[in-house]
Structures are given as structure tokens and as C-alpha cells.
């Protein structure tokens, strides 16, 4: 058992849309990621995702609405719901999701990360 310092872990990388694993429990992974710009529209047929804003802010776009998230707020995206994160400026986010979750869900492309680094 070791504590995790979120700011320290976030200082280890600068790139965007590339989640890093910082913990695992009960088949779930705790990940840190930085966003800037627009991600791809996608969905996860079998997994739900929790997005917790550590610093900054971003918008989660859905086909029928947009949810704005600020530091200290989180959103759970239900499985099967198409979504796209959009950040005008850099935002740091903690993700809680099943270990089987592919970052781009059903849309494989340039931003897809098949294997994640553990930090």
C-alpha cells in the first residue's frame, strides 16, 4: 500500500489524450490524463466511465446536450452513450473505468491507446 500524489503523477507527462494508470482495484483502473482540443466521438458498449476534473475545465458533448465540468466536479457516462470530451485549454482529469475500457471505445484511430503506461 502506497499513497499516490496526483500532482506529482501529472507532472510526469505533458502529452494529451494519453491516459496513464495510477491505480487498480476490483477490476477497475484509476487513470490520469490531460486533455486539450477535441477528442473523437465514441461510445463504450460494455463499460461506464467516471471523469473527475483535477484541474481546469472541459465540456462533455453528447448528441443531445453538453455538460460543462469544472475542477472538483465529476460525471459518469453510462455505457452505450456516445460522447466526446472537448477542452479549450489544458485540463487534468482522473478516470475510473473497467480495465477493459479502450480510450476511444468503438472508434479506433490515431488517438487509440491499446496499451497504457503505469506510472
Instruction: Give first-to-last CA distance, the chain, whole Å.
Output: 15
pLDDT band at 1 (very low <50, low <70, confident <90, very high): confident
What is the structure's pLDDT at 98? 94
Tell me the per-residue pLDDT of 72-100, one tens digit each, with 9 for 90 and over.
999 999 999 999 999 999 999 999 999 99
Domain CATH code at residue 76: 2.60.120.10
Question: Does 118 reside within a domain?
Answer: no
What is the structure's pLDDT at 57? 98
The total number of structural domains in the chain stands at 1
Question: Does 42 reside within a domain?
Answer: yes
Tell me the per-residue pLDDT of 12-64, one tens digit each, with 9 for 90 and over.
999 999 999 999 999 999 999 999 999 999 999 999 999 999 999 999 999 99
pTM score of the predicted model: 0.93
Question: Does 19 reside within a domain?
Answer: yes
Question: Strand ranges (DSSP E) for 26-110?
Answer: 28-38, 49-55, 57-62, 66-70, 74-77, 83-98
Amino acid at each position: 500500500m502506497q499513497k499516490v500524489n496526483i500532482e506529482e503523477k501529472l507532472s510526469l507527462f505533458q502529452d494529451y489524450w494519453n491516459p496513464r494508470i495510477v491505480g487498480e482495484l476490483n477490476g477497475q483502473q484509476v487513470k490520469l490524463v490531460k486533455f486539450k482540443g477535441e477528442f473523437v466521438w465514441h461510445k463504450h458498449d460494455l463499460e461506464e466511465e467516471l471523469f473527475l476534473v483535477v484541474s481546469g475545465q472541459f465540456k462533455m458533448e453528447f448528441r443531445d446536450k453538453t455538460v460543462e465540468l469544472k475542477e472538483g466536479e465529476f460525471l459518469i457516462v453510462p455505457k452505450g452513450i456516445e460522447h466526446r470530451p472537448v477542452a479549450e485549454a489544458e485540463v487534468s482529469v482522473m478516470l475510473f473505468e473497467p480495465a477493459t475500457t479502450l480510450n476511444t471505445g468503438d472508434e479506433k484511430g490515431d488517438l487509440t491507446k491499446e496499451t497504457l503506461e503505469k506510472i
